[in-house]
Amino acid sequence: MVNSLEREEPHYFGAGPALLPTAVLQQAAYDLLNYQGSGLGIGEISHRSKPATDVINQSKARLVQLLDIPEDTHEIFFMQGGGTTGFSSIASNLMANFLNRKGKSGKAGYVITGSWSQKSYEEANRLGVDTEIIANAANARGSNSTKFGTIPNVDSWSNNVSKDDTAYIYYCDNETVHGVEFQEFPFEKYEGIPIVADMSSNFLSKQIPISKYGLIMAGAQKNVGIAGLTIYIIRKDLIPQPSDHKLLIENGIPITPIAFHYPSVIKNNSAYNTIPIFTLQVINLVLENLITVKGGLQAQEDLNRKKAEKLYSVLDKYPEIFNLPVEKSVRSKMNVVFTISGGEIKEGIFLKEAEKRYKLTGLKGHRSVGGMRASLYNAVDTTSVDLLCKFIEEFAKEN
C-alpha cells in the first residue's frame, strides 16, 4: 500500500487521461480526505452545499481571468461526461436554440479534419440533425484519400453556407489522434453564424479570441483535469430554447435529456444534476496552478511552443528514420504524431528502449492509426521533452 504523497516526477506523454502537476494531485488528495478542515472529503459533500458552490464559482472566476471571458456576453458551465457527450449535446441544444431564434429548423455545418470532428458529424446525423460538410481534410489529399494530416485552404471551403439557415458551424481545434491543429481562427468568411469549437485537447494551452466563438467545449481529462467533466463557454444568446417540446418534435429536432439541457444546467449553476465536485476541484486546482505557478496563459503558450519546436526539430533531423505525416503548417503543439521506418518491430523497440533508458512512457499512437504520439500538454515539463529528444537522437544514430 502506498502511504506517501510523494512521487518521482513521471515522464509521461499519454494523450488522455493525461499528466497533471504533482502539486495539484497532492492537494487534491488532501481535499479528498478532509476538505478545508471540515472533517469531510470534497467528494462527500452535497453538490448544492456552500463549499461545493464555492468550488463552482471559483473555477468559473479563474476561467474568466485566464481567458478574459466577457461575462456580459458569455456564460460558463460544467457538465458530466467528455467530448462525446459534449458533441452530442451540442447538436440537440443548438438546433433547439436556432428554432427559438429563427422560428424554423436549421442546418449544422461541419469542418472535418480528423477522427473527432468526423465522429461529431456522424453523431449529429445519427440524432437526425440536418447536416452539411463545409470542408473535409481527407478529400484535400485526393479524391480517393481517407487519411488526415492537413487542413484545406479556407478559400476551398463551401461558399453556399447561409447564416439564415445554419444553426452553427462545428470544428475540432486540435485533432488528438491525427496531430492536426488550427493555428488561427479560420471562420471570418462565415460571419453571423455561431462557431462551435471542440478544444478538449488544447484548451488553456494558448490564448484564444473568445468573443469570436458561439460555444467552446472542452473535456477536462486531456489538459486541465481528470475524466468526468466537460467545460462549456457559451454565448448567452445561444442558450434559450422553446419551452414547448412539441415544437421540437414537429420540426424534427432531437429532444435533449434534461441532465444535458443547457438552460436547465445553467439556471442551476451546473448543479441541476449531481456534479462530481471532486473532479471539478481538480480542475479548479489546475487553474490556480496555471495562474500562480505557471504565470498565466501567455507564459504557458510560450512554453508549449518551445516544447513543440524542440521535439519537431529533432524528429525532422532524421527523415530516413521518422515520418511525420502532418503538414508542417498545421502541426499540433499538443499531440506530436510520427511513425518509424521498419514498422511495428522498430516501433516496439523504440517504446521498450524509451522506457528502459529514461522512463519515457505513454508514447504509443492511437490504436486507429498506430505509430507514435507524444502529447505535450501543459503539465509535461521541459525536462521530459529534453529526455525524449535525447532518446530520439540516440535511437536515430543506432538505427
Q: Mean pLDDT in the chain?
A: 95
Tell whether the model's pLDDT for residue 145 goes beyond 60: no
What per-residue string of b and e applies to 44-83 under the rule 16 or more CB within 10 Å gives b?
A: ebebeeeebbebbeebbebbbebbebeeeebbbbbbbbbb
| pLDDT attached to residue 140 | 67
pLDDT tens string 278-306: 999 999 999 999 999 999 999 999 999 99
Q: Residues of the chain with pLDDT > 90: what percent?
A: 94
pLDDT tens string 251-281: 999 999 999 999 999 999 999 999 999 999 9
Q: Residues of the chain with pLDDT > 70: what percent?
A: 98
Handedness of CA 234, 64, 49, 225 (dihedral sign): positive
In the chain, which ranges are continuous DSSP H helix? 22-33, 50-67, 83-102, 115-126, 245-250, 262-267, 277-292, 297-316, 343-358, 382-398
When pLDDT is averaged across residues 175-183 and rounded to a whole number, the result is 96
Q: Would you state the cell numbers that stand for residue 243, as one nine-digit string? A: 419551452
Torsion angles phi and psi, residue 25, rounded to 5: -65, -35
| pLDDT attached to residue 296 | 97
Q: Where residue 4 falls among pLDDT bands split at 50, 70, 90?
A: confident
Domains belonging to the chain, first-starting first, are 50-290 (3.40.640.10), 297-398 (3.90.1150.10)
Tell whether the model's pLDDT for residue 170 goes beyond 90: yes
Tell whether the model's pLDDT for residue 149 goes beyond 80: yes
Residue with cell 544514430: 397
pLDDT tens string 195-229: 999 999 999 999 999 999 999 999 999 999 999 99
| pLDDT attached to residue 147 | 81
Tell whether the model's pLDDT for residue 3 goes beyond 90: no
Which SS3 state, helix, strand or coil, does residue 21 take? coil
Q: How far is CA 50 from CA 34, 53, 157, 256, in A?
A: 16, 5, 49, 29
Tell whether the model's pLDDT for residue 94 goes beyond 50: yes
When pLDDT is averaged across residues 127-138 and rounded to a whole number, the result is 94
| pLDDT attached to residue 256 | 96
When pLDDT is averaged across residues 186-203 and rounded to a whole number, the result is 96
Q: Is residue 133 within 8 Å of 110, Cβ to Cβ?
A: yes
Torsion angles phi and psi, residue 35, rounded to 5: -85, 115
Q: Would you state the cell numbers that stand for residue 303, as one nine-digit string? A: 512554453
Distance between CA atoms of residues 82 and 85, nearest Å:
5
Q: Where residue 35 falls among pLDDT bands split at 50, 70, 90?
A: very high
Distance between CA atoms of residues 397 and 391, nearest Å:
10
Tell whether the model's pLDDT for residue 144 goes beyond 90: no
Tell whether the model's pLDDT for residue 24 goes beyond 60: yes
Distance between CA atoms of residues 6 and 3, nearest Å:
9
Q: Is residue 55 within 8 Å of 244, Cβ to Cβ?
A: no
| pLDDT attached to residue 368 | 86
CA 212 centroid distance within chain: 18
| pLDDT attached to residue 143 | 40
Distance between CA atoms of residues 277 and 64, nearest Å:
19
pLDDT tens string 232-253: 999 999 999 999 999 999 999 9
